[in-house]
Amino acid sequence: MSKSGFSLLFLALLHLMGFLFPLRVSAIRKDIGFLEERSCRTTVQGRYLISDDEGNVCDALSLESRTRCCPWKGERFSCHGCNILSQCCNSYEFCVSCCLNPSQTLLEKVVKVKVAKPATSGTYKSVFDFCAGRCRHNSESVVHENAYHSEFHHCFSLTSNASGANLTQVETRLLGIDVIVGSQGDSCDAVCKSRGQLCVMNKLSLLNQCDVMKRYMNCKGSCLASAGADQPAEVVEDAPRDLYPGACLYTRTQSLLSCDGSHQHTRRLCPCA
């Protein structure tokens, strides 16, 4: 047999073997995905309960040791023991859980909120950071620096100083506070003392809003921004014309708010307890 004939015969045999015994071709699939393992951040304040950053609340013994997450059971974003209007709760962990609900707190808003009052303070990096920070006891929950004005003293609301704030929410946050219109020329310290009470300094910011002042005062001549230590206040009717008689005054500088400020031509709006 010639060399070329042998080659043709060999190729024919290879073709026949491939037909009878097809080669198996295997490959590694690249579209197989793996479930990402849960990993949670949690609160550390409570002795018995823990809230994770997924909005779950559980007792400390139920926390999964590997993932640091609460088990997937019960209600997520629970507002148990919370007043939704005031956004205040009677327990820290449920405050954090309720706050984490996207319908309550939006990321684009909280990342603009400063962690503390100083201008150099940074802002919150996540909704969980905001909720865990805001729900701790804050100065607004305290009366006379040594007592809570309500059992609902874990609050996560975004402070609003703008006119048009939700009046129902403001009224709820003033529970336990007597809002008094003082006499002409009196400071809030004097107004509250005359009633056997003290001025609650950290509630002045709630009253320092036009919509709120109009609930307690006439504000006949409109509501104007001012810069005195006697705000929030109303200018008396017999004041000089250049002082805008009848107008209500509020300040845009929160640091000016004080209990001892007064002016001979204004009547102050005071929080007493």
Q: Which domain holds residue 206?
A: 177-272
pLDDT band at 25 (very low <50, low <70, confident <90, very high): very low
61 within a domain of the structure (yes/no)? yes
Secondary structure class of 20 (helix, strand, coil): helix
Q: What is the mean pLDDT of the segment spanning 182-211?
A: 93
Residue with the larger pLDDT of the pair 119 and 184: 184
Maximum Cα–Cα distance for the chain, whole Å?
A: 132
Q: Are residues 144 and 189 in the same domain?
A: no
Best CA proximity match to 227, nearest among 206, 199, 258, 201: 258
> Does a structural domain hold residue 44?
no
pLDDT digits 0-9 by tens, 151-175: 678 888 775 433 344 566 777 778 8
Regarding whether 195 and 101 lie in a shared domain, the answer is no
Q: Is 102 in the same domain as 198?
A: no
Residues 145 and 199 in one domain: no
- 169 assigned to some structural domain: no
Q: 185: alpha, beta or left, given left = phi > 0 and alpha = psi -120 to 50?
A: left
One domain for residues 181 and 263: yes
pLDDT of residue 249: 93
Question: Above 70 in pLDDT, residue 117?
Answer: no
End position of a domain, from candidates 155, 186, 215? 155
- Looking at the fold, whether 185 and 231 belong to one and the same domain comes out as yes
Residues 196 and 264 in one domain: yes
Say if residue 53 is in the same domain as residue 150: yes
Q: Is residue 235 part of a domain?
A: yes
Residue 14 inside a domain? The answer is no
Select the more confidently predicted residue: 183 or 116: 183
Tell whether 151 and 61 lie within a shared domain: yes
Both 142 and 195 in a single domain?
no
Residue 142 located in a structural domain: yes
Q: How many domains does the chain have?
A: 2
* pTM, to two decimals: 0.49
Q: Indicate the pLDDT class of residue 131, thresholds 50, 70 and 90.
A: very high
Q: Are residues 191 and 243 in the same domain?
A: yes
Residue 82 lies in a domain: yes
Q: For 197-240, what is each residue's pLDDT tens digit?
A: 999 998 998 899 888 888 888 888 688 988 889 999 999 999 99
DSSP 8-state assignment for residue 257: -
Cα 163 to Cα 72: distance, rounded to the nearest angstrom:
42
Phi and psi at residue 187, in whole multiples of 5°? -85, 165
> Nearest-5° angle of CA 163, CA 199, CA 82?
60
What was the pLDDT predicted at 19? 46
Same domain (yes/no): 69, 146: yes
Confirm whether 248 is domain-assigned.
yes
* pLDDT score recorded for residue 2: 54
